[in-house]
Amino acid sequence: MPVSRRKLARLTMRWLGEAAVHLFPARCFACEHPLPRLQLLGACTSCWGALAGERIPRCHRCALPLPERAGESLGWCARCVIRPPPFNRTVAAVAYDVTARRFLVRAKDGRRPELLKPLARQLAAAVSITGLACGADSIVPVPSTLLARFRRGYDPAREIARVLSEATALPIAHGVLRKRGIGRPAAKALGAHARWAWAAGSVVARREVSGATILLVDDVLTTGATATACASALRAAGAREVRVAVWARTPSPDALFDRPPGRRL
């Protein structure tokens, strides 16, 4: 029975693909081990599995890890007890460790926004389990600077917000927040103390959100300076409550895993 041209082309592409796997082996961008045939978007299944959320007590306000007894009794970390942030609650899907950082570096520095979709689904699952979106009115993504959007070609928080909007049926309130300044250094390139100085007054609300409960969305929460600036701007614009949903949370305010040597996230 003669083989059609279309079928022959499919078989040829399959053979070429099989040959390429052996002749030009790729490596997982997260662990740098040879990439097996079973992979997703350039990462092996082991690294994807390492992104699973941790079942540890976290501060309800800022999502920092808590000592087990403190988590059961108070639910807040010492920092939030002494100086409560302007946001009411935070949920993070995963811990921002070395593997998580490599995923974000690949997505942001590598201009691979498609990587953010499965990460955003992880966040959507965490939001659903915790009920963070219940009673919220809209989603507001943390804005990027104009320079960062030009460099990456997209806004990471907005990409995550789109997936979260589909999962929660909450509308995205576009353009509510804006970051001031074009030539200022990126916050993620600064140390912990410098971030707070940078964030002071760095975000402004462009319109009123009177009486609204806002779900503020970002990719990672480190010192909390940017989230605080955004939440403060939303409060000043009339928001009744601000909740924060982030894909990853650093294990401490000073653990800036998003600053790899020689690279910018």
Per residue in 43-67, pLDDT (tens digit) is: 999 999 999 777 788 999 999 988 7
Q: Same domain, yes or no, for 169 and 118?
A: yes
- Which residue range(s) make up the domain with 63? 57-249
pLDDT band of residue 68 (cuts 50, 70, 90) is: low
Average pLDDT over the chain, rounded to an integer: 83
Q: Same domain, yes or no, for 5 and 82?
A: no
| Number of domains within the chain | 2
Q: Same domain, yes or no, for 144 and 127?
A: yes
Q: Which whole number is the average pLDDT over 197-217?
A: 85
Q: Same domain, yes or no, for 25 and 86?
A: no
Q: Same domain, yes or no, for 10 and 102?
A: no
Q: Which whole number is the average pLDDT over 229-253?
A: 93
Q: Is 207 within the bounds of a domain?
A: yes
Q: Is 80 within the bounds of a domain?
A: yes
Q: Same domain, yes or no, for 138 and 8?
A: no
pLDDT band of residue 1 (cuts 50, 70, 90) is: very low
pLDDT band of residue 9 (cuts 50, 70, 90) is: confident
Predicted pLDDT at 259: 44
Q: Is the predicted pLDDT of residue 138 greater than 50, yes or no?
A: yes
Q: Which whole number is the average pLDDT over 182-209?
A: 65
Predicted pLDDT at 100: 94
Q: Same domain, yes or no, for 22 and 70?
A: no
pLDDT tens, residue by residue, 10-26:
767 666 555 454 555 58
Q: Is 22 within the bounds of a domain?
A: yes
Q: Is the predicted pLDDT of residue 206 greater than 80, yes or no?
A: yes
Q: Same domain, yes or no, for 122 and 32?
A: no
pLDDT band of residue 262 (cuts 50, 70, 90) is: very low
Q: Is 92 within the bounds of a domain?
A: yes
165 against 253, higher pLDDT: 165
Model confidence, pTM:
0.80
Q: Is the predicted pLDDT of residue 6 greater than 90, yes or no?
A: no
pLDDT band of residue 194 (cuts 50, 70, 90) is: low
Q: Same domain, yes or no, for 168 and 38?
A: no
pLDDT tens, residue by residue, 74-113:
688 888 999 999 999 999 999 999 999 999 999 998 889 9
Distance of CA 186 to the CA centre of its chain: 16
pLDDT tens, residue by residue, 150-175:
888 899 999 999 999 999 999 999 98
